[in-house]
Chains A and B, each alone.
Chain A
Amino acid sequence: MSDNIHDPHSRRYHAMGTALAVVIYLFLLAPIVVTIPMAFGPTNALTFPPASYSLDLFKIFFSSPDWLNPLWESIKVALGATALAMLAGAPAGYWIARHEFVGKGLITALIMSPLVIPTIVGALGLYLYFSYLRIGGTTLSLVLGHIIVTLPYVVLMIMAGVHKLDRNLEFGAELMGAGPIRMFFTVVIPQLVPSLLSAGFFAFLISFDEVVISWFLASSNTVTLPVKMFSALEWEVSPVIAAVSTLLTTVSLLACIVAIAFKKATPVDA
Protein backbone atom coordinates (compact mmCIF):
# COMPACT_ATOMS: atom_id res chain seq x y z
CA MET A 1 0.00 0.00 0.00
CA SER A 2 0.96 3.65 -0.10
CA ASP A 3 4.10 3.91 1.98
CA ASN A 4 5.53 6.65 -0.17
CA ILE A 5 3.29 9.33 1.30
CA HIS A 6 4.05 10.13 4.91
CA ASP A 7 1.87 12.11 7.21
CA PRO A 8 1.38 11.82 10.96
CA HIS A 9 -2.20 10.58 10.53
CA SER A 10 -1.25 7.59 8.44
CA ARG A 11 1.66 6.79 10.75
CA ARG A 12 -0.53 6.75 13.84
CA TYR A 13 -3.13 4.73 11.97
CA HIS A 14 -0.57 2.15 10.85
CA ALA A 15 1.00 1.93 14.31
CA MET A 16 -2.41 1.07 15.75
CA GLY A 17 -2.99 -1.58 13.09
CA THR A 18 0.45 -3.06 13.71
CA ALA A 19 -0.09 -3.23 17.47
CA LEU A 20 -3.40 -5.04 16.96
CA ALA A 21 -1.84 -7.41 14.44
CA VAL A 22 1.03 -8.25 16.80
CA VAL A 23 -1.48 -9.20 19.52
CA ILE A 24 -3.24 -11.50 17.05
CA TYR A 25 0.04 -13.10 15.89
CA LEU A 26 0.80 -13.82 19.56
CA PHE A 27 -2.67 -15.30 20.04
CA LEU A 28 -2.14 -17.55 16.99
CA LEU A 29 1.26 -18.71 18.21
CA ALA A 30 0.25 -19.04 21.88
CA PRO A 31 -0.57 -22.79 21.70
CA ILE A 32 2.88 -23.60 20.29
CA VAL A 33 4.73 -21.20 22.59
CA VAL A 34 3.01 -22.65 25.64
CA THR A 35 3.23 -26.39 24.92
CA ILE A 36 6.88 -26.64 23.91
CA PRO A 37 8.41 -25.44 27.24
CA MET A 38 5.91 -27.59 29.16
CA ALA A 39 7.10 -30.70 27.32
CA PHE A 40 10.43 -30.23 29.08
CA GLY A 41 8.79 -29.70 32.47
CA PRO A 42 8.36 -32.00 35.49
CA THR A 43 6.16 -35.09 35.34
CA ASN A 44 3.84 -34.27 38.22
CA ALA A 45 2.41 -30.85 37.37
CA LEU A 46 1.20 -28.88 34.37
CA THR A 47 2.30 -25.34 35.06
CA PHE A 48 3.60 -22.64 32.79
CA PRO A 49 6.41 -21.81 32.90
CA PRO A 50 7.56 -25.18 34.28
CA ALA A 51 9.21 -25.18 37.71
CA SER A 52 12.11 -27.33 36.47
CA TYR A 53 13.33 -28.65 33.13
CA SER A 54 14.05 -32.26 32.12
CA LEU A 55 13.44 -34.82 29.38
CA ASP A 56 11.33 -36.99 31.70
CA LEU A 57 8.06 -36.56 29.76
CA PHE A 58 9.74 -37.70 26.54
CA LYS A 59 11.27 -40.64 28.44
CA ILE A 60 7.80 -41.64 29.65
CA PHE A 61 6.42 -41.30 26.12
CA PHE A 62 9.18 -43.33 24.48
CA SER A 63 9.08 -46.09 27.08
CA SER A 64 5.34 -46.72 27.33
CA PRO A 65 3.68 -49.01 24.77
CA ASP A 66 0.43 -47.07 25.41
CA TRP A 67 1.96 -44.18 23.46
CA LEU A 68 4.49 -45.97 21.24
CA ASN A 69 1.99 -48.35 19.64
CA PRO A 70 -0.28 -45.48 18.54
CA LEU A 71 2.80 -43.64 17.23
CA TRP A 72 3.74 -46.63 15.04
CA GLU A 73 0.15 -47.05 13.92
CA SER A 74 0.04 -43.37 12.89
CA ILE A 75 3.29 -43.65 10.96
CA LYS A 76 2.11 -46.82 9.19
CA VAL A 77 -1.25 -45.31 8.28
CA ALA A 78 0.24 -41.99 7.16
CA LEU A 79 2.87 -43.69 4.97
CA GLY A 80 0.26 -45.95 3.37
CA ALA A 81 -2.26 -43.18 2.80
CA THR A 82 0.40 -40.82 1.42
CA ALA A 83 1.73 -43.43 -1.01
CA LEU A 84 -1.72 -44.32 -2.32
CA ALA A 85 -2.96 -40.73 -2.46
CA MET A 86 0.14 -39.74 -4.44
CA LEU A 87 -0.25 -42.68 -6.82
CA ALA A 88 -3.86 -41.71 -7.51
CA GLY A 89 -3.54 -37.95 -7.14
CA ALA A 90 -0.39 -37.06 -9.08
CA PRO A 91 -1.45 -38.43 -12.50
CA ALA A 92 -5.02 -37.20 -11.97
CA GLY A 93 -3.84 -33.72 -10.97
CA TYR A 94 -1.73 -33.53 -14.12
CA TRP A 95 -4.52 -34.77 -16.39
CA ILE A 96 -7.17 -32.47 -14.89
CA ALA A 97 -4.83 -29.48 -15.21
CA ARG A 98 -3.99 -30.20 -18.86
CA HIS A 99 -7.02 -31.80 -20.52
CA GLU A 100 -10.73 -31.31 -21.05
CA PHE A 101 -12.79 -34.49 -20.97
CA VAL A 102 -16.34 -35.71 -20.47
CA GLY A 103 -17.32 -35.76 -16.80
CA LYS A 104 -14.30 -33.69 -15.74
CA GLY A 105 -16.39 -31.35 -13.58
CA LEU A 106 -18.19 -34.22 -11.89
CA ILE A 107 -15.07 -36.25 -11.15
CA THR A 108 -13.18 -33.20 -9.89
CA ALA A 109 -16.11 -32.22 -7.66
CA LEU A 110 -16.27 -35.74 -6.23
CA ILE A 111 -12.52 -35.83 -5.51
CA MET A 112 -12.66 -32.37 -3.89
CA SER A 113 -15.89 -32.99 -1.96
CA PRO A 114 -14.13 -34.10 1.27
CA LEU A 115 -12.88 -30.50 1.60
CA VAL A 116 -16.47 -29.30 2.08
CA ILE A 117 -18.28 -32.29 3.59
CA PRO A 118 -18.07 -32.18 7.40
CA THR A 119 -15.49 -34.73 8.51
CA ILE A 120 -17.93 -36.29 10.95
CA VAL A 121 -20.35 -37.14 8.12
CA GLY A 122 -17.57 -38.77 6.10
CA ALA A 123 -16.37 -40.58 9.21
CA LEU A 124 -19.82 -41.98 9.98
CA GLY A 125 -20.25 -43.06 6.34
CA LEU A 126 -16.87 -44.77 6.27
CA TYR A 127 -17.62 -46.49 9.57
CA LEU A 128 -20.93 -47.89 8.24
CA TYR A 129 -19.42 -48.77 4.84
CA PHE A 130 -16.36 -50.53 6.26
CA SER A 131 -18.46 -52.45 8.76
CA TYR A 132 -20.50 -53.70 5.79
CA LEU A 133 -17.28 -54.67 3.95
CA ARG A 134 -16.10 -56.35 7.18
CA ILE A 135 -12.81 -54.46 7.28
CA GLY A 136 -13.83 -52.19 10.18
CA GLY A 137 -11.12 -51.50 12.77
CA THR A 138 -8.22 -52.68 10.60
CA THR A 139 -5.15 -50.66 9.63
CA LEU A 140 -6.28 -51.06 6.00
CA SER A 141 -9.56 -49.30 6.79
CA LEU A 142 -7.66 -46.40 8.35
CA VAL A 143 -5.39 -46.12 5.30
CA LEU A 144 -8.39 -46.14 2.95
CA GLY A 145 -10.21 -43.59 5.10
CA HIS A 146 -7.20 -41.29 5.08
CA ILE A 147 -6.91 -41.44 1.28
CA ILE A 148 -10.17 -39.52 1.12
CA VAL A 149 -8.85 -36.58 3.14
CA THR A 150 -5.37 -36.49 1.59
CA LEU A 151 -6.34 -36.97 -2.08
CA PRO A 152 -7.94 -33.50 -2.56
CA TYR A 153 -4.81 -31.74 -1.27
CA VAL A 154 -2.50 -33.84 -3.46
CA VAL A 155 -4.60 -33.17 -6.56
CA LEU A 156 -4.82 -29.42 -5.81
CA MET A 157 -1.08 -29.07 -5.18
CA ILE A 158 -0.14 -31.05 -8.29
CA MET A 159 -2.58 -29.00 -10.39
CA ALA A 160 -1.02 -25.79 -9.07
CA GLY A 161 2.44 -27.18 -9.86
CA VAL A 162 1.46 -28.22 -13.41
CA HIS A 163 -0.05 -24.78 -14.14
CA LYS A 164 3.36 -23.24 -13.49
CA LEU A 165 5.10 -25.49 -16.03
CA ASP A 166 5.81 -24.43 -19.60
CA ARG A 167 3.45 -26.46 -21.73
CA ASN A 168 5.60 -26.04 -24.83
CA LEU A 169 8.08 -28.57 -23.44
CA GLU A 170 5.29 -31.15 -23.35
CA PHE A 171 4.20 -30.26 -26.91
CA GLY A 172 7.83 -30.55 -27.99
CA ALA A 173 8.14 -34.04 -26.54
CA GLU A 174 4.91 -35.04 -28.28
CA LEU A 175 6.13 -33.68 -31.61
CA MET A 176 9.30 -35.71 -31.19
CA GLY A 177 7.06 -38.75 -30.92
CA ALA A 178 6.93 -39.46 -27.18
CA GLY A 179 3.69 -41.07 -26.03
CA PRO A 180 1.77 -39.41 -23.19
CA ILE A 181 3.10 -41.78 -20.54
CA ARG A 182 6.73 -41.53 -21.61
CA MET A 183 6.33 -37.76 -21.88
CA PHE A 184 4.87 -37.66 -18.33
CA PHE A 185 7.82 -39.53 -16.86
CA THR A 186 10.62 -37.85 -18.81
CA VAL A 187 9.33 -34.27 -19.17
CA VAL A 188 6.67 -33.55 -16.54
CA ILE A 189 7.84 -35.52 -13.49
CA PRO A 190 11.40 -34.11 -13.41
CA GLN A 191 10.04 -30.54 -13.43
CA LEU A 192 7.35 -31.39 -10.90
CA VAL A 193 9.68 -32.73 -8.18
CA PRO A 194 9.20 -29.77 -5.78
CA SER A 195 5.39 -30.00 -6.06
CA LEU A 196 5.47 -33.78 -5.65
CA LEU A 197 7.63 -33.57 -2.55
CA SER A 198 5.57 -30.87 -0.87
CA ALA A 199 2.31 -32.66 -1.77
CA GLY A 200 3.76 -35.83 -0.24
CA PHE A 201 4.82 -34.05 2.94
CA PHE A 202 1.43 -32.39 3.36
CA ALA A 203 -0.45 -35.62 2.67
CA PHE A 204 1.66 -37.26 5.37
CA LEU A 205 1.02 -34.42 7.81
CA ILE A 206 -2.74 -34.38 7.15
CA SER A 207 -2.99 -38.13 7.69
CA PHE A 208 -0.69 -38.04 10.72
CA ASP A 209 -2.81 -35.31 12.38
CA GLU A 210 -6.22 -36.69 11.37
CA VAL A 211 -8.49 -37.31 14.38
CA VAL A 212 -12.17 -37.69 13.54
CA ILE A 213 -12.10 -40.41 10.85
CA SER A 214 -9.49 -42.37 12.80
CA TRP A 215 -11.55 -42.06 15.99
CA PHE A 216 -14.57 -43.56 14.20
CA LEU A 217 -12.63 -46.33 12.45
CA ALA A 218 -9.97 -47.40 14.95
CA SER A 219 -10.41 -50.48 17.12
CA SER A 220 -8.49 -50.95 20.37
CA ASN A 221 -5.40 -52.29 18.57
CA THR A 222 -5.35 -49.77 15.73
CA VAL A 223 -5.49 -46.59 17.81
CA THR A 224 -3.50 -43.78 16.20
CA LEU A 225 -1.54 -41.12 18.09
CA PRO A 226 -4.16 -38.36 17.61
CA VAL A 227 -6.97 -40.74 18.67
CA LYS A 228 -5.01 -41.70 21.77
CA MET A 229 -4.37 -38.03 22.49
CA PHE A 230 -8.02 -37.09 21.92
CA SER A 231 -9.25 -39.76 24.35
CA ALA A 232 -6.60 -38.72 26.85
CA LEU A 233 -7.72 -35.07 26.62
CA GLU A 234 -11.36 -36.05 27.04
CA TRP A 235 -10.73 -37.74 30.37
CA GLU A 236 -7.76 -36.19 32.12
CA VAL A 237 -5.02 -33.86 31.03
CA SER A 238 -1.73 -35.57 31.82
CA PRO A 239 1.65 -33.83 31.42
CA VAL A 240 2.81 -36.44 28.87
CA ILE A 241 0.41 -34.78 26.42
CA ALA A 242 2.73 -31.77 26.38
CA ALA A 243 5.46 -34.03 25.02
CA VAL A 244 3.06 -35.53 22.44
CA SER A 245 2.00 -32.00 21.40
CA THR A 246 5.61 -31.02 20.91
CA LEU A 247 6.18 -34.07 18.71
CA LEU A 248 3.13 -33.22 16.60
CA THR A 249 4.24 -29.58 16.34
CA THR A 250 7.69 -30.69 15.22
CA VAL A 251 6.13 -32.65 12.38
CA SER A 252 4.04 -29.58 11.40
CA LEU A 253 7.12 -27.39 11.58
CA LEU A 254 9.06 -29.75 9.29
CA ALA A 255 6.21 -29.79 6.75
CA CYS A 256 6.05 -25.99 6.89
CA ILE A 257 9.79 -25.62 6.30
CA VAL A 258 9.72 -28.12 3.43
CA ALA A 259 6.78 -26.33 1.80
CA ILE A 260 8.49 -22.94 1.99
CA ALA A 261 11.77 -24.36 0.72
CA PHE A 262 10.07 -25.91 -2.30
CA LYS A 263 7.97 -22.87 -3.00
CA LYS A 264 11.22 -20.95 -3.29
CA ALA A 265 12.70 -23.70 -5.46
CA THR A 266 9.90 -23.33 -8.02
CA PRO A 267 11.18 -20.81 -10.57
CA VAL A 268 7.92 -19.09 -11.55
CA ASP A 269 5.91 -17.49 -8.79
CA ALA A 270 2.13 -17.59 -8.87
Chain B
Amino acid sequence: MNRISIIRAQAIFMSPAVLAATLLILPPLLYVFYTSVYGPALSLAAYGQVLTSKLFRQTLTTTLVVAGLSSLLSLLLGFVVALHLARQPARRRAFLTVLVLLPFWTSVLVKCFAFTVILGREGIINSMLSWIFGIKIQLPLVLNMVGLLVGMTNFLIPLVVLPVLASLLAIDSAIYRAAAIMGAKPARIFWTVTLPMSLPGLLAGLLSIFVMSLGAFIVPSLLGGPQDQMLSSLVAFYNREVLDWQKASAISVVLLGMVFIFAAPLALWRRRKLKA
Protein backbone atom coordinates (compact mmCIF):
# COMPACT_ATOMS: atom_id res chain seq x y z
CA MET B 1 0.00 0.00 0.00
CA ASN B 2 1.37 3.39 -0.83
CA ARG B 3 1.11 6.36 1.46
CA ILE B 4 -1.69 8.14 -0.32
CA SER B 5 -3.95 5.12 -0.30
CA ILE B 6 -3.27 4.65 3.42
CA ILE B 7 -4.22 8.24 4.11
CA ARG B 8 -7.35 7.89 2.01
CA ALA B 9 -8.31 4.66 3.74
CA GLN B 10 -7.67 6.25 7.12
CA ALA B 11 -10.00 9.12 6.25
CA ILE B 12 -12.72 6.65 5.28
CA PHE B 13 -12.29 4.38 8.32
CA MET B 14 -11.89 7.09 10.94
CA SER B 15 -14.06 9.98 9.78
CA PRO B 16 -17.45 8.71 11.05
CA ALA B 17 -16.05 8.19 14.55
CA VAL B 18 -14.08 11.44 14.46
CA LEU B 19 -17.23 13.26 13.35
CA ALA B 20 -19.20 11.70 16.20
CA ALA B 21 -16.48 12.68 18.66
CA THR B 22 -16.11 16.26 17.45
CA LEU B 23 -19.79 16.96 16.83
CA LEU B 24 -21.40 14.96 19.65
CA ILE B 25 -18.92 14.38 22.48
CA LEU B 26 -16.85 17.56 22.57
CA PRO B 27 -19.50 20.29 22.08
CA PRO B 28 -21.70 19.27 25.04
CA LEU B 29 -18.68 19.40 27.35
CA LEU B 30 -17.63 22.79 25.99
CA TYR B 31 -21.22 23.93 26.42
CA VAL B 32 -21.16 23.01 30.09
CA PHE B 33 -17.94 25.00 30.63
CA TYR B 34 -19.32 27.92 28.63
CA THR B 35 -22.67 27.99 30.45
CA SER B 36 -20.92 27.83 33.83
CA VAL B 37 -19.12 31.16 33.23
CA TYR B 38 -21.60 32.89 30.96
CA GLY B 39 -24.30 34.74 32.92
CA PRO B 40 -25.27 38.35 32.36
CA ALA B 41 -21.54 38.81 31.84
CA LEU B 42 -18.55 36.51 31.64
CA SER B 43 -17.72 35.69 35.27
CA LEU B 44 -16.91 33.02 37.79
CA ALA B 45 -19.77 34.21 39.99
CA ALA B 46 -21.69 30.94 39.72
CA TYR B 47 -18.69 29.03 41.07
CA GLY B 48 -18.42 31.44 44.00
CA GLN B 49 -22.10 31.08 44.83
CA VAL B 50 -22.01 27.31 44.47
CA LEU B 51 -18.82 26.71 46.45
CA THR B 52 -19.93 28.87 49.38
CA SER B 53 -23.47 27.51 49.57
CA LYS B 54 -24.28 25.24 52.49
CA LEU B 55 -26.36 22.94 50.28
CA PHE B 56 -23.40 22.33 47.98
CA ARG B 57 -21.00 21.62 50.84
CA GLN B 58 -23.37 19.16 52.45
CA THR B 59 -23.96 17.43 49.14
CA LEU B 60 -20.23 17.28 48.45
CA THR B 61 -19.61 15.64 51.84
CA THR B 62 -22.41 13.13 51.22
CA THR B 63 -21.02 12.38 47.77
CA LEU B 64 -17.53 11.66 49.11
CA VAL B 65 -18.82 9.63 52.06
CA VAL B 66 -21.26 7.54 50.00
CA ALA B 67 -18.77 6.99 47.17
CA GLY B 68 -16.01 6.08 49.65
CA LEU B 69 -18.08 3.74 51.80
CA SER B 70 -19.86 2.00 48.95
CA SER B 71 -16.70 1.46 46.90
CA LEU B 72 -14.74 0.12 49.90
CA LEU B 73 -17.61 -2.24 50.79
CA SER B 74 -17.96 -3.34 47.16
CA LEU B 75 -14.21 -3.97 46.88
CA LEU B 76 -14.26 -6.12 50.01
CA LEU B 77 -17.26 -8.20 48.88
CA GLY B 78 -16.05 -8.28 45.28
CA PHE B 79 -12.65 -9.54 46.46
CA VAL B 80 -14.33 -12.44 48.29
CA VAL B 81 -16.17 -13.36 45.09
CA ALA B 82 -13.04 -12.98 42.95
CA LEU B 83 -11.03 -15.19 45.34
CA HIS B 84 -13.74 -17.82 45.13
CA LEU B 85 -13.87 -17.62 41.32
CA ALA B 86 -10.08 -17.85 41.04
CA ARG B 87 -10.12 -21.11 43.05
CA GLN B 88 -12.61 -22.85 40.73
CA PRO B 89 -11.75 -25.11 37.81
CA ALA B 90 -12.13 -23.27 34.50
CA ARG B 91 -15.54 -24.65 33.52
CA ARG B 92 -17.22 -24.02 36.84
CA ARG B 93 -15.64 -20.57 36.88
CA ALA B 94 -17.21 -19.79 33.50
CA PHE B 95 -20.62 -20.76 34.88
CA LEU B 96 -20.19 -18.75 38.09
CA THR B 97 -18.93 -15.73 36.15
CA VAL B 98 -22.35 -15.62 34.49
CA LEU B 99 -23.84 -15.09 37.96
CA VAL B 100 -21.72 -11.92 38.15
CA LEU B 101 -22.22 -10.87 34.53
CA LEU B 102 -26.00 -11.08 34.65
CA PRO B 103 -26.30 -8.47 37.45
CA PHE B 104 -23.66 -6.45 35.55
CA TRP B 105 -26.04 -6.14 32.61
CA THR B 106 -29.24 -5.79 34.64
CA SER B 107 -30.83 -2.35 34.45
CA VAL B 108 -30.08 -0.21 37.49
CA LEU B 109 -33.81 0.63 37.57
CA VAL B 110 -34.67 -3.03 38.04
CA LYS B 111 -32.25 -3.18 40.98
CA CYS B 112 -33.70 -0.06 42.58
CA PHE B 113 -37.24 -1.35 42.16
CA ALA B 114 -36.27 -4.71 43.64
CA PHE B 115 -34.62 -3.12 46.66
CA THR B 116 -37.63 -0.91 47.39
CA VAL B 117 -39.61 -4.16 47.53
CA ILE B 118 -36.98 -6.05 49.53
CA LEU B 119 -36.15 -3.29 52.02
CA GLY B 120 -39.47 -1.40 52.24
CA ARG B 121 -41.43 -0.97 55.47
CA GLU B 122 -43.68 -3.87 54.46
CA GLY B 123 -40.92 -5.45 52.41
CA ILE B 124 -39.38 -8.89 52.41
CA ILE B 125 -36.79 -8.26 55.14
CA ASN B 126 -39.26 -6.60 57.51
CA SER B 127 -41.91 -9.28 56.91
CA MET B 128 -39.36 -11.99 57.59
CA LEU B 129 -38.19 -10.31 60.79
CA SER B 130 -41.81 -9.78 61.87
CA TRP B 131 -42.55 -13.47 61.24
CA ILE B 132 -39.46 -14.65 63.13
CA PHE B 133 -40.02 -12.46 66.18
CA GLY B 134 -43.82 -12.59 66.08
CA ILE B 135 -44.19 -8.82 66.38
CA LYS B 136 -44.68 -6.20 63.71
CA ILE B 137 -41.27 -4.86 62.70
CA GLN B 138 -40.93 -1.93 60.29
CA LEU B 139 -37.27 -1.01 60.22
CA PRO B 140 -36.56 1.98 57.94
CA LEU B 141 -34.19 0.32 55.46
CA VAL B 142 -34.86 2.29 52.30
CA LEU B 143 -34.96 5.99 51.36
CA ASN B 144 -32.04 6.45 53.76
CA MET B 145 -28.31 5.75 53.95
CA VAL B 146 -28.84 1.99 54.46
CA GLY B 147 -30.89 1.58 51.29
CA LEU B 148 -28.49 3.79 49.36
CA LEU B 149 -25.42 1.78 50.41
CA VAL B 150 -27.14 -1.55 49.72
CA GLY B 151 -28.14 -0.37 46.24
CA MET B 152 -24.74 1.15 45.44
CA THR B 153 -22.91 -1.98 46.61
CA ASN B 154 -25.14 -4.23 44.54
CA PHE B 155 -24.48 -2.01 41.54
CA LEU B 156 -20.68 -1.78 42.04
CA ILE B 157 -19.69 -5.37 42.99
CA PRO B 158 -19.95 -6.77 39.42
CA LEU B 159 -17.84 -3.85 38.16
CA VAL B 160 -15.00 -4.68 40.53
CA VAL B 161 -15.07 -8.51 40.46
CA LEU B 162 -13.84 -8.95 36.88
CA PRO B 163 -10.69 -6.73 37.03
CA VAL B 164 -9.76 -8.14 40.46
CA LEU B 165 -10.28 -11.68 39.18
CA ALA B 166 -7.96 -10.91 36.25
CA SER B 167 -5.23 -9.76 38.64
CA LEU B 168 -5.69 -12.90 40.79
CA LEU B 169 -5.49 -15.20 37.79
CA ALA B 170 -2.29 -13.46 36.69
CA ILE B 171 -0.51 -14.77 39.82
CA ASP B 172 1.63 -17.80 38.96
CA SER B 173 0.11 -20.83 40.70
CA ALA B 174 3.64 -22.19 41.31
CA ILE B 175 4.05 -19.50 43.99
CA TYR B 176 1.07 -20.89 45.92
CA ARG B 177 2.43 -24.39 45.64
CA ALA B 178 5.87 -23.27 46.78
CA ALA B 179 4.39 -21.45 49.78
CA ALA B 180 2.28 -24.47 50.70
CA ILE B 181 5.23 -26.89 50.36
CA MET B 182 7.25 -24.64 52.64
CA GLY B 183 4.48 -25.18 55.19
CA ALA B 184 2.60 -21.88 55.01
CA LYS B 185 -0.99 -22.16 56.27
CA PRO B 186 -3.79 -20.78 54.04
CA ALA B 187 -4.16 -17.60 56.09
CA ARG B 188 -0.43 -16.94 55.85
CA ILE B 189 -0.48 -17.61 52.08
CA PHE B 190 -3.31 -15.10 51.77
CA TRP B 191 -1.46 -12.37 53.70
CA THR B 192 1.99 -12.94 52.21
CA VAL B 193 1.21 -14.01 48.63
CA THR B 194 -2.35 -13.38 47.45
CA LEU B 195 -2.93 -9.98 49.00
CA PRO B 196 0.39 -8.28 48.15
CA MET B 197 0.42 -9.68 44.62
CA SER B 198 -3.13 -8.60 43.83
CA LEU B 199 -2.84 -5.25 45.61
CA PRO B 200 -2.26 -3.15 42.45
CA GLY B 201 -5.34 -4.71 40.84
CA LEU B 202 -7.35 -4.11 44.02
CA LEU B 203 -6.32 -0.46 44.21
CA ALA B 204 -7.09 0.11 40.53
CA GLY B 205 -10.47 -1.56 41.00
CA LEU B 206 -11.20 0.55 44.08
CA LEU B 207 -10.29 3.78 42.31
CA SER B 208 -12.37 2.96 39.23
CA ILE B 209 -15.53 2.14 41.18
CA PHE B 210 -14.96 5.20 43.38
CA VAL B 211 -14.87 7.37 40.24
CA MET B 212 -18.00 5.62 38.94
CA SER B 213 -19.87 6.20 42.19
CA LEU B 214 -18.95 9.91 42.39
CA GLY B 215 -21.35 10.52 39.50
CA ALA B 216 -24.09 8.17 40.74
CA PHE B 217 -27.55 9.54 40.13
CA ILE B 218 -30.24 6.87 39.75
CA VAL B 219 -29.45 4.87 42.90
CA PRO B 220 -29.35 7.90 45.27
CA SER B 221 -32.51 9.33 43.68
CA LEU B 222 -34.50 6.14 44.16
CA LEU B 223 -33.01 4.49 47.26
CA GLY B 224 -31.55 7.42 49.23
CA GLY B 225 -33.48 9.86 51.38
CA PRO B 226 -33.72 13.60 50.68
CA GLN B 227 -30.69 14.23 52.92
CA ASP B 228 -28.53 11.58 51.15
CA GLN B 229 -28.53 13.20 47.71
CA MET B 230 -25.27 13.40 45.77
CA LEU B 231 -23.78 16.01 43.41
CA SER B 232 -25.57 14.54 40.38
CA SER B 233 -28.93 15.11 42.02
CA LEU B 234 -27.92 18.70 42.69
CA VAL B 235 -27.15 19.16 38.97
CA ALA B 236 -30.57 17.73 38.10
CA PHE B 237 -32.22 19.90 40.77
CA TYR B 238 -30.72 23.16 39.42
CA ASN B 239 -31.45 22.10 35.85
CA ARG B 240 -35.04 20.94 36.21
CA GLU B 241 -36.48 22.62 39.31
CA VAL B 242 -34.65 25.93 39.64
CA LEU B 243 -33.90 26.30 35.91
CA ASP B 244 -30.53 27.83 36.86
CA TRP B 245 -28.34 26.35 34.13
CA GLN B 246 -25.33 28.38 35.15
CA LYS B 247 -25.22 26.81 38.61
CA ALA B 248 -26.07 23.36 37.22
CA SER B 249 -23.09 23.74 34.86
CA ALA B 250 -20.76 25.02 37.58
CA ILE B 251 -21.56 21.99 39.76
CA SER B 252 -21.02 19.73 36.74
CA VAL B 253 -17.58 21.24 36.20
CA VAL B 254 -16.68 20.67 39.86
CA LEU B 255 -17.89 17.05 39.61
CA LEU B 256 -15.90 16.60 36.39
CA GLY B 257 -12.81 18.02 38.09
CA MET B 258 -13.16 15.55 40.98
CA VAL B 259 -13.55 12.65 38.58
CA PHE B 260 -10.40 13.66 36.70
CA ILE B 261 -8.36 14.04 39.89
CA PHE B 262 -9.18 10.46 40.89
CA ALA B 263 -9.13 9.00 37.37
CA ALA B 264 -5.70 10.44 36.47
CA PRO B 265 -3.63 8.07 38.64
CA LEU B 266 -5.67 5.19 37.23
CA ALA B 267 -4.91 6.22 33.65
CA LEU B 268 -1.20 6.62 34.47
CA TRP B 269 -1.12 3.21 36.14
CA ARG B 270 -2.82 1.55 33.14
CA ARG B 271 -0.37 3.17 30.74
CA ARG B 272 2.60 2.02 32.82
CA LYS B 273 1.19 -1.50 32.90
CA LEU B 274 0.74 -1.46 29.12
CA LYS B 275 4.37 -0.44 28.63
CA ALA B 276 5.68 -3.07 31.05
- Chain B contacts of A29 at CB under 8 A? 99, 102-103
8 Å CB contact of B154 from A28, A48, A184, A226: A28
8 Å CB contact of B103 from A32, A101, A248: A32
Contacting pair B81 A25 (CB below 8 A): yes
Please tell me if A125 contacts chain B, counting CB pairs below 8 Å.
yes
Please tell me if A46 contacts chain B, counting CB pairs below 8 Å.
yes
Chain B, residue nearest A145 (CB): B24
Chain B, residue nearest A133 (CB): B27
Interface size bucket, B side? Answer: 35 or more
Interface of A is mostly: helix
Given contacts A125-B29, A209-B107, A216-B239, contact A245 B154 (CB under 8 A): no
8 Å CB contact of B107 from A99, A174, A249, A260: A249
List residues 112-131 of chain B with CB under 8 A from any CB of chain A.
112-118, 122, 124
Kindly state the separation between the CA atoms of A25 and B111 in the bound complex, as whole angstroms. Answer: 14
Please tell me if B185 contacts chain A, counting CB pairs below 8 Å.
yes
Interface centre among A5, A25, A129 (most CB of B within 10 A): A129
- Chain B contacts of A60 at CB under 8 A? none
Please tell me if A120 contacts chain B, counting CB pairs below 8 Å.
yes
Please tell me if A64 contacts chain B, counting CB pairs below 8 Å.
no
Contacting pair A124 B32 (CB below 8 A): yes
Given contacts A120-B215, A121-B235, A230-B109, contact A31 B14 (CB under 8 A): no
8 Å CB contact of B84 from A18, A34, A124: A18
- Chain B contacts of A180 at CB under 8 A? 1, 5-6, 9, 13
Please tell me if B210 contacts chain A, counting CB pairs below 8 Å.
no
List residues 36-64 of chain A with CB under 8 A from any CB of chain B.
38, 46-48
Please tell me if B83 contacts chain A, counting CB pairs below 8 Å.
yes
Contacting pair B110 A245 (CB below 8 A): yes
Contacting pair B107 A121 (CB below 8 A): no
Please tell me if A219 contacts chain B, counting CB pairs below 8 Å.
no
Given contacts A10-B186, A116-B211, A249-B107, contact A101 B10 (CB under 8 A): yes
- Chain A contacts of B158 at CB under 8 A? 28
Contacting pair B181 A5 (CB below 8 A): yes
- Chain B contacts of A151 at CB under 8 A? 17, 20
Contacting pair A126 B28 (CB below 8 A): yes
The segment from B40-48, B54-62, B132-140, B252-260 that touches chain A is B252-260
Given contacts A28-B99, A30-B114, A92-B13, contact A107 B21 (CB under 8 A): yes
The 5 A-B residue pairs with the shortest CB-CB distance in the complex, in nearest-first order? A118-B215, A125-B28, A31-B114, A92-B17, A21-B84
Interface positions of A (Cβ within 8 A of B):
1-5, 9-10, 13-14, 17-18, 20-21, 24-25, 27-32, 34-35, 38, 46-48, 84, 87-89, 91-92, 94-95, 99, 101, 107, 110-111, 113-114, 116-122, 124-129, 132, 144-145, 147-148, 151, 155, 174, 179-181, 184, 205, 209, 211-212, 216, 226, 229-230, 233-234, 237, 241-242, 245, 248-249, 252-253, 255-256, 259-260
A-B contact pairs, 29 of them (CB 8 A): A1-B173, A2-B176, A5-B177, A13-B186, A17-B84, A20-B80, A21-B80, A24-B77, A24-B157, A27-B77, A28-B103, A31-B106, A31-B111, A31-B118, A91-B12, A92-B14, A111-B21, A116-B260, A121-B32, A121-B235, A124-B28, A124-B245, A128-B249, A148-B24, A180-B5, A233-B112, A249-B106, A249-B110, A260-B101
